[in-house]
Amino acid sequence: MKPKVAIFDFGCCEGCQLQLVNLEEALLDLVGLVDVRQWREAMSEHADDYEIALVEGSITRESEIPRLEAIRRQAKVLVALGACAHTGGINAMKNHMPMERALDIVYGDKAGWFDTIPARPLSAYVPVDAAVPGCPVDRQELVEVVKALLMGVAPVLPTYPVCVECKMAENICVFDLGLTCMGPVTRAGCRARCPSNGNRCLGCRGLVPEPNANAHKEVLAEHGRTVEDILAEYRMFVSSAEVAQ
């Protein structure tokens, strides 16, 4: 029998689920290997007897915690899909201000209609068996992770930084272009997509295991920057990095 899969979302833009749709022909092959039991974005059918749960989004409301716990109880394997689910993602930017202030900024005089809590990754509340990092996830890596799960093998993510992929691509270091970059401490696997296109790495894939923070500080110092100088620039993705580690 085909493994039964369900796809869920919490606080997110659903862009990582769109990457599933963007698999195009590969999606047909993937769907042929599994039995999709529910996927709100792509189908109206609904069944609760799934074995693998792909979950996108961070937890941003108290009411979401019981729902996540119920998904975890049902699923034999739970996968954090994308940066929001993996590290808290962009949603975690609000953690640097009082929650009342965040509600006021977003909802104005309707703030009282909504509730919010500091954004946290799935792993802050339930055990996570695997993750597909990134914002959005890399389609090729997503397929490889799903294949590994279907074969009963633990997916393996790169344990080296984006700088390695930059060197393999023979990129000019963006520090030498006058930009600052999180590449020295960010998990590789994106094929250095942003630096390869003239942009800096913002750290959307989370910190590499055991990041060489001292080396990063040295590179920053060589270019006249300090950690304190750039913290605000990188809160888009690393504000919950301490939870992810």
Residue 212 burial (CB count, 10 A): 14
Residue 175 belongs to a domain? yes
pLDDT tens digits, residue range 134-175? 999 998 898 889 889 888 888 999 999 999 999 999 999 998
Tokens 């019981």 -> residue: 66
Question: Which two structure tokens, joined as six digits, stand for 147?
Answer: 């294949």
Q: Which of 27-31, 102-106, 183-187, 210-214 has the lowest mean pLDDT?
A: 27-31
Are 138 and 166 members of one domain?
A: no
pLDDT at 230 over 90: no
Residue 243 belongs to a domain? no
CA-wise closest residue to 213 among 173, 186, 177: 186
Higher pLDDT: 17 or 225? It is 17
Type of residue numbered 1: M
pLDDT tens digits, residue range 45-75? 889 999 999 999 999 999 999 999 999 999 9
Are 24 and 135 members of one domain?
A: yes
Are 64 and 168 members of one domain?
A: no
**Structural domain for 168, as ranges:** 162-238
Are 26 and 111 members of one domain?
A: yes
Of the pLDDT bands very low, low, confident and very high (cuts 50, 70, 90), residue 197 is very high
Number of domains in the chain: 2
Q: Where are the alpha helices (DSSP H) in the chain?
A: 15-21, 25-31, 64-74, 83-87, 99-107, 139-150, 162-168, 193-196, 213-222, 227-230, 235-238, 241-244
pTM of the model: 0.88
pLDDT at 30 over 80: no
Q: Which of 39-43, 50-54, 99-103 has the lowest mean pLDDT?
A: 39-43
At residue 245, the pLDDT reads 37
